[in-house]
Structure 1
Amino acid sequence: MNVGFIGTGSMGSLLIESFIASGALGPTEIAVSNRTHAKAQALADRYPGMRAEYSNADAACGADYVFLCVKPHEFIHVVQDIKSVIRPNQTVVSITSPVLLSHLEGELGCKIAKVIPSITNLVWSGASLCIYGSRMDDRDKKKLESLFAHISEPLRIEEQYTRIVSDLSSCGPAFIAFLLQQFVDAAVEETGIPRADAQKVAANMLLGTGLLLTEGQLSMEDIQQRVAVPGGITAKALKLLQRETDGIFNQVIRTTHDKYQEDLGKVTTLFYGEEVNGQ
């Protein structure tokens, strides 16, 4: 397999590292390019056999999959860079939510997919959110999902739900880590427990809770009910949390969606010159 990665920033490098570590891809199967060539070369130097190309077109030429791992406003420029070398049998994969399948299908005469990864893929966990363009048949979808199955659980979703599932899967680790950090900080401040001890306990608690929800097949309500004895310590604390956090995640979702719509409008303007039906 030949795979090109355009963009070696946070998520691009995460995917490359995860695929190599999991055995899904070997370094010799990968070509990378980046706006700053030195960054692509630095990544290639870590993995002998990986090719750091000077142009996006060279990274894309002949690749089975071309991953576009750049910021939304850079997409139109990257698409223009690779347009002349892309062939119908290739698959271009965007990992950026505000770039629509229709944006890319309108410019590139090949198969188009969108896959939203998560930082959890770095430890071969979490989901990869898979959204497919009209030129992808079932065989194409299964082949791409088999690649991502090495580092995640591929989940097919509809494009209209891109933002909310990204909130849960991709933004979620940051949100939960923030809340856990507040919990640990409070524990240290209120009791003097060594921070390293509190962090270790909290991290293992989070891992165990995730396993209860997945392998243990407990629901979130089940966990609360089984931990919170009526009239007990946990039940009293849960009432406080319910009161103080009421509606907070509604505000979080509205914030991410507002930013998404702003970015989507800008991307659409770059592709079409004007926004179309609010998109």
Structure 2
Amino acid sequence: MSTESLGAMALPTPQLRTGRAIASHVFFYLLIDILISVSPFRRKVDRWFYVDGPQQTKEARRTRAQFAMRVVGYVFLTLMLASLIAAPHACPLHFLPQFPRAIKVLLSPSLRADPLYATDANSEMMIAVTAAYFVYDILICFVRFRASGGMPFLAHGLISGSAFLYSARTHKLQYFGGMVLLWEASTPLLYARWMMLKSRRHESRWMPLVNYAFMTLFFLVRIVWAPMVYRTFFNAVGEDQALHPERAMSKFTSNLFWVGFIIMGSLNLYWFSMMVRAAAGRSHDKHKAV
């Protein structure tokens, strides 16, 4: 057997590397979730949220499940540790948090010059890690439908997961993956707010700051930035369909993306309107008390 043949056998294909990265991260996320929600460690979780110690109530199980989902979310967004099996030659990039990774994608001249087709080791790993998170998210939304937030969050997971899995499978749209990932910039504050509410710190002087910082960031990334992403994406796809029909995304696929973006935009507006109503209600109650 020739040296070239041995080298070809030793190096996995890009599809295989991506598949391994997705599978290893889904396993990693599920392991964290199980350790928190159903392992003996759950007793420590109960002590954080309940003064009387471990609980066996339905509400306690729901709180543990929600806490596990948020810990996995924090790991995904800020403490990413990728499997060395996925792409050993790129392992130094595996330890970048997801937001710097997305920003690095957006600042890459080569990716920016060809947002539909350009790839590099950083963008490949970003797409794989994010696709894996949304696979986990979809599974959890089905298993814990009510605890995870019901149909709106399941729809969010299905649409986001489908888009990132499409990018992972085709090795396209990776620049736009970085643009979309910035939508999650407000999520850590959402998790912090939940933690403060569940741990009875809602009367803290920091709570209003967290509330308004979350609303402001959500508005900027999901109400202002998101439509800019839609416009840039469909302009690029439309131009590619006109100039390079032989390689361009099919009309059917681009229409699916259009429907997904409409649903995501509607969900973002719905969630933001709920925040505004809640903030208005708190302000009204404060003035009424005075």
Is the structural similarity TM-score above 0.5? no
Give the TM-score normalised by the residue count of structure 1.
0.27
Q: Which has the higher helix share?
A: 2
Give the TM-score normalised by the residue count of structure 2.
0.26
Q: Which has the higher strand share?
A: 1
